[in-house]
Chains A and B, each alone.
Chain A
Amino acid sequence: GESVGLHLPTLSVQEGDNSIINCAYSNSASDYFIWYKQESGKGPQFIIDIRSNMDKRQGQRVTVLLNKTVKHLSLQIAATQPGDSAVYFCAENGAGGGATNKLIFGTGTLLAVQP
């Protein structure tokens, strides 16, 4: 079946360092990927997305890399801050862009930023 998984369940970094969170996906037909941040007791917050026709996309302090050859997605956070501490999920959206395309979430990585 379809699955999206993460290599590292917990990532601890020092404030100011760069963070890299990884994700592996299994459905080669997925054409859209999203990274979400979820703080404790809250809903997921959109961070950045990328389509399958791209291999890199940059936002403010964040960069998403997509390697379709090995079905790997990563989120890079520059100059990590204490406010970045949260659980990060990757999600894939099935191909076709249909009305009921579902998001499949990965298992999540807890990012802990040490002051």
Chain B
Amino acid sequence: GAVVSQHPSWVICKSGTSVKIECRSLDFQATTMFWYRQFPKQSLMLMATSNEGSKATYEQGVEKDKFLINHASLTLSTLTVTSAHPEDSSFYICSARDLRGLAGKHNEQFFGPGTRLTVL
């Protein structure tokens, strides 16, 4: 149980295009989802926190108009990288949390497998 999936697992796009990444909780309802970015040989940096039915909360320095987050249901959150540029190339990882504790401990985050974005 408590599986989180991401789609696609990797994507290559041209500079200036937009890319959408999906994060799904497969067997539990995620009241909160988190989006992280990880550059090579670096740690995970939180980009934003997304609560179902409300606007995402972005970390300092993360452009909300560039990284659009939608958490339309309790099992799906999407991250859209708009007008992508080569410097946006990174490994994007989502996690999901079920505060009701049905999927595990009440504050445990379950991580997706990540999406590798390469912008040419």
- A44/B93 contact (C-beta < 8 A), A89-B44, A99-B32, A100-B32 known: yes
Which of A41, A49, A105 is B43 in contact with, Cβ under 8 Å? A105
B62-70, B71-79, B106-114: which one contacts chain A?
A: B106-114
Chain B residue with minimal CB distance to A9? B41
A residues contacting the other copy or chain, number (CB 8 A): 22
Nearest residue (CB) in B for A101 is B107
Contact-residue bracket for chain B: 20 to 34
Q: How far is the CB of A108 from chain B (nearest CB, A)?
A: 5
Q: Encode A34-63 as 1/0 by CB contact (under 8 A) with B.
A: 001000011111100100000000000000
By secondary structure, the B interface counts as: strand
Taking CB as reference atom, which chain A residue is nearest B43?
Answer: A105
- In the complex, the answer to whether A97 meets B107 with C-beta atoms within 8 Å is yes
Q: A46-B108, A103-B109, A106-B43 are in contact. Are A41 and B116 (CB under 8 A)?
A: yes
